[in-house]
C-alpha cells in the first residue's frame, strides 16, 4: 500500500431540502426571498482519507448516509459544506437507477459509461466482447435498460466497472442483488483489482465480507461518522449498535462519537507538531494487532427478539446461557473453542419419563445441531415436585461466523404421551466472531486440511 492519498474528505456536510408539499419545490424555484423548505442533515463532520491500494468498507444502519457519502465521492452529489477530492479514474456501482440511462440499450450505455470514465471509443469497443461475456445477459444487451431485471442491471454495471481499469472502485450494496454465483465471480474480480493496487470503497451489510475483504472500515450512523479503524473493531461497534435496545443505543453512539472525535483531534494535534508527516497522520494505518483472535465476551445488546416460550406444564427452564469452560457468561464466541450451554430446570409437579434437550438454529431457522440427555427408554423414570436440575451441554464451536440461536426443552410424560413440560425457542442469541484468515464456507466448519499438490509435469507453477 502506498502513502499516496486517493480520496480526501474534510469537514464534509450534506443537507437535503425537505418540502412539506410538492408544490413548495416549485415556489422555491421562483422565490429566493422566502424559504419554502426545511433542511435535513444527511451527513455532518465527516473527515477521512484513503490511500492508494486500501480497501475500505462502510457500514451503518439504514438511512445512516452511506449512499449519500458514496455519491459525494463520485461527484453525483455536491457537498453543502467541506471538501471531497479524488485522484484518478473512478468507476462506481451505485444503488439501482443511478448510473445508466434507462432509455438507451445496454450496449449504448456501455459506450456512454466508458466515455464518461475517460476511455477512447476504440478502447471500449475492444473490451466489449469481454464485458458482454462477463455480464452474460445475452440478447438483452441490445434492448433498452428499462426492460432489465435488477439482476441484469447489476451484472452489466459491474462488468463495465471492472473492465475500465479504475483507480478507485466504489460499490454500493449492489452486489447483494445478483445471485450467489455471480456474487462470487464479482468478489473474485474485486480481489484481482485489489491486488493490482486498485483502491476500493464499498458498502456492505455483510459483516463477514467487510472483515475478510477490507483493510479498514468506517461506521456511519444517522449522519455521523462514529468509527474509522480496523474492520473487526468497527464491525463489532456496528453490531453492538444494531442489536442495542433503544435506551442503550443513544449512550453507545455518544460514546463512539466522542471517542472518534477525540482520536481525530489527537491526530490533528500531533500533525501540527510534526509538519511534513501529515499524509501519514491523516490516515493512521489500521491496527493489525486487533486482528488477532479476540477473547469471547458478553454483549448485552445481543439479545434474542424472537423468543417463544411455550406454556409451562409443571417444569420451568431458568437462566439459559453460554459459558466459557471457566464459567464466564458469553454470547460472542470463537470458532474452534469449547463452551458450555447451561440452563436450570425446576419441577413444581411430578413427572415421568423426563429428558432435557437443546438445539442450535441458524438465523434463517435451519436446525444445525441438537441433542437430548437420554433416549426415550433411558429417560428419568420419575422426578418429584420441587426437584431441580442443572443442565450442561458442552460443545466445540464448529460454526462459521454469523448469528445463531439456542433452544431449550424439557420433555416428559403426562399420562401416556410424551410432551414438552417446558420449551423455549430462540432463547439465547449468540454470535461467532468473524476471522480474517477463514478459508471455509457454509454453516459448519468441518474441513480440517486443505492441500494442493502439483501434478507431475506442471510447468509455470509458482
Ligand X SMILES: Nc1ncnc2c1ncn2[C@@H]1O[C@H](COP(=O)(O)OP(=O)(O)O)[C@@H](O)[C@H]1O
List residues near ligand X by CB under 6 A.
16, 40, 42, 60, 62-68
Q: Which residues pair with 316 in a beta bridge?
A: 346
CB of 299 to ligand X, least distance (A): 23
Pattern of binders to Mg ion over 366-385, x per CB under 5 A? --------------------
- Would you say 68 or 109 has its CB closer to ligand X? 68
Residue 42 binding: pick among ligand X, Mg ion, none (C-beta 5-8 Å cut-off by kind): ligand X
CA separation for the pair 317, 295 (Å, rounded): 28
Residue among 39 and 378 whose Cβ is closer to ligand X? 39
Binding segment for Mg ion (CB under 5 A), chosen from 61-69, 120-128, 151-159, 427-435, is: 61-69
Total number of residues shown for the chain: 462
Write down the least CB distance from residue 221 to Mg ion, Å. Answer: 13
Residue 256 contact partner, candidates Mg ion, ligand X, none, CB within 5 to 8 A by sort of partner: none
Please state the closest distance from residue 49 (CB atom) to ligand X, in A: 20
Question: Of the two residues 60 and 106, which places its CB atom closer to ligand X in the complex?
Answer: 60
Q: Which is nearer to Mg ion, 182 or 202 (CB)?
A: 202
| 49: contact with Mg ion by CB under 5 A | no
| 67 is a contact residue toward Mg ion (CB under 5 A) | yes
The percent of the chain in helix, strand and coil, each rounded to the nearest 5, is 30, 35, 35
Distance between CA atoms of residues 243 and 280, nearest Å: 35
- Cβ 70 to ligand X, closest distance in Å? 8
Q: How far is the CB of 65 from Mg ion (least distance, A)?
A: 8
Binding mask 99-128 for Mg ion (x = CB under 5 A): ------------------------------
Q: Do residues 332 and 404 lie in contact, with contact meaning Cβ atoms separated by under 8 Å?
A: no
Nearest distance from residue 226's CB to Mg ion, in Å? 17
* Paired residues of 372 in beta bridges: 357
Q: Identify what 64 binds: Mg ion, ligand X, none; CB under 5 to 8 Å per kind.
A: ligand X
Q: Identify any residues that bridge with 339 across adjacent strands, giving them in sequence order.
A: 324, 395
Complex with Mg ion: residue 67 or 239, whichever CB lies closer = 67
Closest approach of Mg ion to the CB of residue 70, in Å:
8
Partner touching 411 among Mg ion, ligand X, none, CB below 5 to 8 Å by kind: none
Total residues at interface with Mg ion (CB under 5 A): 2
Binding partner of 62, given ligand X, Mg ion, none, CB within 5-8 angstroms per partner class:
ligand X
Distance CA 329, CA 303 (A): 13
What ranges make up the beta strands (E) of 161-239? 168-172, 199-203, 216-221, 224-229
Strand positions, DSSP E, 296-349: 308-309, 315-324, 329-330, 332-333, 338-347
Question: What is the distance between the alpha carbons of residues 77 and 70, in angstroms, rounded to a whole number?
Answer: 9
Nearest to 387 by CA among 343, 348, 342, 344: 348
Alpha carbon 455 to its chain centroid, in Å, reads: 39
With cell 449504448, the residue in question is 108
Given the complex with ligand X, which of 16 and 395 has the nearer CB atom? 16
Beta strands 199-203 and 38-51, pairing class: unpaired
Q: Could you tell me the smallest distance in angstroms from the CB atom of residue 243 to ligand X?
A: 18
Other C-beta atoms closer than 10 Å to the C-beta of 168 total: 21
121 burial type by CB count under 10 A (0-12 exposed, 13-18 middle, 19+ buried): exposed
| Stretch of 60-68, 121-129, 214-222, 417-425 contacting Mg ion, by CB under 5 A | 60-68
Q: List contacts with Mg ion (CB under 5 A).
A: 66-67
Amino acid at each position: 500500500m502506498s502513502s499516496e492519498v486517493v480520496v480526501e474528505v474534510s469537514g464534509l456536510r450534506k443537507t437535503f431540502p425537505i418540502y412539506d408539499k410538492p408544490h413548495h419545490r416549485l415556489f422555491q424555484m421562483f422565490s429566493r426571498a422566502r424559504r419554502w423548505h426545511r433542511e435535513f442533515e444527511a451527513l455532518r463532520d465527516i473527515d477521512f482519507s484513503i490511500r492508494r491500494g486500501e480497501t475500505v468498507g462502510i457500514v451503518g444502519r439504514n438511512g445512516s448516509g452511506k449512499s449519500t457519502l458514496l455519491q459525494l465521492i463520485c461527484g453525483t452529489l455536491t457537498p453543502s459544506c467541506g471538501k471531497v477530492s479524488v485522484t484518478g479514474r473512478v468507476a462506481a456501482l451505485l444503488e439501482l437507477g443511478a448510473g445508466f440511462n434507462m432509455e438507451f440499450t445496454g450496449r449504448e450505455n456501455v459506450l456512454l459509461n466508458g466515455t464518461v470514465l475517460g476511455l477512447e471509443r476504440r478502447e471500449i469497443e475492444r473490451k466489449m466482447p469481454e464485458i458482454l461475456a462477463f455480464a452474460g445477459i445475452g440478447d438483452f444487451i441490445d434492448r433498452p435498460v428499462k426492460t432489465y431485471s435488477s439482476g441484469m442491471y447489476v451484472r452489466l454495471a459491474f462488468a463495465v466497472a471492472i473492465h475500465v481499469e479504475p483507480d478507485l472502485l466504489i460499490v454500493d450494496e449492489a452486489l447483494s442483488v445478483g445471485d450467489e454465483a455471480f456474487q462470487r465471480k464479482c468478489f473474485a474480480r474485486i480481489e484481482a483489482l485489489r491486488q493490482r493496487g486498485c483502491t476500493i470503497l464499498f458498502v456492505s451489510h455483510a459483516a463477514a465480507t467487510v472483515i475478510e475483504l477490507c483493510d479498514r472500515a468506517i461506521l456511519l450512523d444517522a449522519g455521523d461518522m462514529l468509527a474509522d479503524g480496523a474492520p473487526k473493531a468497527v464491525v463489532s461497534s456496528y453490531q453492538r449498535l444494531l442489536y442495542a435496545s433503544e435506551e442503550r443505543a443513544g449512550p453507545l453512539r455518544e460514546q463512539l462519537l466522542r471517542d472518534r472525535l477525540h482520536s481525530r483531534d489527537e491526530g490533528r494535534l500531533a500533525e501540527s507538531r510534526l509538519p511534513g508527516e501529515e499524509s501519514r497522520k491523516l490516515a493512521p494505518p489500521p491496527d493489525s494487532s486487533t486482528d488477532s483472535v479476540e477473547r469471547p465476551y458478553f454483549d448485552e445488546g445481543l439479545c434474542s427478539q424472537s423468543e417463544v416460550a411455550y406454556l409451562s406444564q409443571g417444569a420451568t427452564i431458568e437462566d439459559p446461557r453460554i459459558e466459557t469452560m471457566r464459567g464466564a457468561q458469553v454470547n460472542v464466541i470463537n470458532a474452534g473453542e469449547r463452551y458450555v450451554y447451561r440452563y436450570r430446570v425446576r419441577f413444581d409437579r411430578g413427572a415421568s419419563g423426563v429428558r432435557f434437550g437443546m438445539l442450535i438454529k441458524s438465523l434463517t431457522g435451519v436446525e444445525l445441531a441438537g441433542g437430548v440427555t437420554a433416549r426415550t427408554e433411558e429417560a428419568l423414570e420419575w422426578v418429584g415436585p420441587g426437584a431441580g436440575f442443572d443442565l450442561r451441554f458442552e460443545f466445540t464451536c464448529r460454526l462459521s461466523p454469523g448469528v445463531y440461536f439456542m433452544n431449550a426443552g424439557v420433555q416428559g410424560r403426562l399420562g401416556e404421551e410424551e410432551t414438552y413440560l417446558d420449551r423455549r425457542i430462540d432463547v439465547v442469541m449468540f454470535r461467532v466472531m468473524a476471522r480474517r484468515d477463514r478459508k471455509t464456507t457454509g454453516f459448519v466448519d468441518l474441513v480440517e486440511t486443505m492441500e494442493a499438490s502439483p501434478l507431475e509435469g506442471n510447468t509455470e507453477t509458482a
